[in-house]
Amino acid sequence: MKTTLAFILALPLFAAAAEKDLATKIAEHQDGSRKLSEQQDEMAADVQQLIIEQTHPKVIELLEGVEQAMDEASGLLLEFDTGGITIAAETDVIEKIFEAAKERQKQQGQGQGQPNSPGGAMLDMMERMMGKEPGGEQPGQQPGQQGGEQGGEGQTGDSDSANSASNGASTGKEEERRVPKSSGKAGQSLPREFQDALDAYNRAAEKLAK
């Protein structure tokens, strides 16, 4: 009886502790989201510099789309939204960077299947990020590719890309797998300006996916 009474009397203390813990977590989440928003703004400024350095109109147009998508992601983070909409915005940025990289390679006259050149390595890595096989190869044929980067065991491109959550209903962990790492051999050959942007987005998206 005494134990039960003591437990009842302690309930308000437990509730207060739980509320304090929740308030702390909310504050930490908002602080982290605010910092990520600031990082997005800094990266948008970096993209502006990239636009200035480019000479090809199509690449400039695509990079302007990257900047707009970054602004959207920054606005969502400023509102403390780190859910699926924000992750989708982050993914949109990465896809637009991919398109800009492809166009840049095209303008430079580089062909597909040149993994040792900066443009070829960049495309290989970013295609893996988006759930595609570099150069149209089937799973298991790319040297150094890790298991977590491979798609399914099917024999078509559709089978491989199905595992990359392309239906729009992806989760944070699935989106995290689509973000490139800079530690691989391909990443070391990336043009500096694209590598900087991808590294920064990799860090931000990993935090969102946790």
What are the tens digits of pLDDT across the range 64-104? 888 888 888 888 888 888 888 888 888 888 888 888 878 88
Q: pLDDT by residue (tens digit) across 100-144?
A: 878 887 877 754 444 444 445 545 555 554 555 555 544 444 444
pLDDT at 184: 42
Q: pLDDT by residue (tens digit) across 5-62?
A: 555 555 555 556 667 678 888 888 888 888 888 887 888 888 888 888 888 888 889 8
| Cβ–Cβ under 8 Å, residues 107 and 187 | no
| Cβ–Cβ under 8 Å, residues 182 and 122 | no
Q: pLDDT by residue (tens digit) across 150-208?
A: 444 444 444 444 444 344 444 444 444 344 444 343 444 455 656 666 666 666 666 65
| Cβ–Cβ under 8 Å, residues 191 and 59 | no
What average pLDDT does the structure give for the chain?
A: 64
3-state secondary structure the chain: CHHHHHHHHHHHHHHHHHHHHHHHHHHHHHHHHHHHHHHHHHHHHHHHHHHHHCCCHHHHHHHHHHHHHHHHHHHHHHCCCCCHHHHHHHHHHHHHHHHHHHHHHHHCCCCCCCCCCHHHHHHHHHHHHCCCCHHHCCCCCCCCCCHHHCCCCCCCHHHHHHHHCCCCCCCHHHHHHCCCCCCCHHHHCCCHHHHHHHHHHHHHHHHHHC
